[in-house]
Amino acid sequence: MAREPAVRLSRGARPSRVHLKADILFEDKPIHNVIPRWRGAEKPDEWIVIGNHRDAWVHGAVDPNSGTAALLECARALGKLKEQGFKPKRTIVFASWDAEEYGLVGSTEWCEDLREELEKKCVCYINVDAGVSGREFRASAAPRSRASRATWRPPWRIPKKGGASSTCGSSAPSPRPRIPLSVLFVGNDGEDPKVGDLGSGSDYTAFQHHLGIPSLDIQFEGPYGVYHSVLDDFFWMERFGDPSFSSHRALARYLGVALLRMSSADLLPIRPEAQANAIIGHLGDLMKQYPEVFAANSEKTKAADELRSAAARLGELPRIWRPRGARARGRR
């Protein structure tokens, strides 16, 4: 129990004094991650891990239950494929994390326990958290790149802003069997898709920031003023967040397409040159923001130059060994 100092509030010319008391209980309790695996037929020691946490502050219709629903539906659909005899090349690992809201405990503990194995085997982590709070599709990744172009090219259209109908919410296929990826991203300028940088605060943190595993986080966003509150419930979702539940369906389909392509591709759709460009770009921003730190001939400037050179070499290597056919396909 902690007692804070008095806080003086002013309402017009009449000040008031309040005392804020916070009762916080600290105790150890067991948590449970649920980790089913689908063993790959050709490359079982290459893992595609996809995860979502299932604990919420209150009801959690958006955070995390919308992501949980999409992940479970994706798993159900892949289970149907398994019954039909389909086998992925790589191992698919599903993860239902516990205790995310209490400090990313479930995913972090799992990554720490399996650190050596994950560093050798995990080739990608796909994260979904607050999966649906609207209709605007957004993705963040590291490496942030056109790698997503190879991963996301679904044969349907995403929900349109404003609630307009779309083929995404029906069983009818889109008249266009393939649509440019750039159409799928908010802020599209006709060029490459807009993929943001991964920050922290969700279960990709241990994978990306501690183990250095390529990671992707996806969601459908919208106005979400009920975050972490008792009002984040089914009524809000049905009335405001996703009344047609088309974004939920789209998210489940995205997850399924991503898992199938990542687990079955001959070459993983991850482009090292994009990581190199990101490193060089962030390093340049850092040096512009703190010029006094990177003074001429300083040790930090020397280290920055070495990092830039190493990133440039990383970006050049794929262009040397990538097959001519792959280069041609990448330009389309």
CA distance 294 to 291: 5
Bridge-based pairing of strands 7-11 and 14-18 is: antiparallel
Q: Which of 148, 125, 127, 147 has the alpha carbon at shortest distance from 71?
A: 127
CA distance 58 to 154: 34
CA distance 115 to 206: 10
CA distance 179 to 251: 17
Does the annotation count 100 as an active-site position? yes
Whether the Cβ atoms of residue 89 and residue 41 lie closer than 8 Å to each other: yes
Residue 119 has which token pair?
């560093």
Whether the Cβ atoms of residue 252 and residue 260 lie closer than 8 Å to each other: no
Question: Which is the catalytic residue, given 4, 100, 273, 316?
Answer: 100
CA distance 174 to 285: 41
Catalytic residue IDs: 100
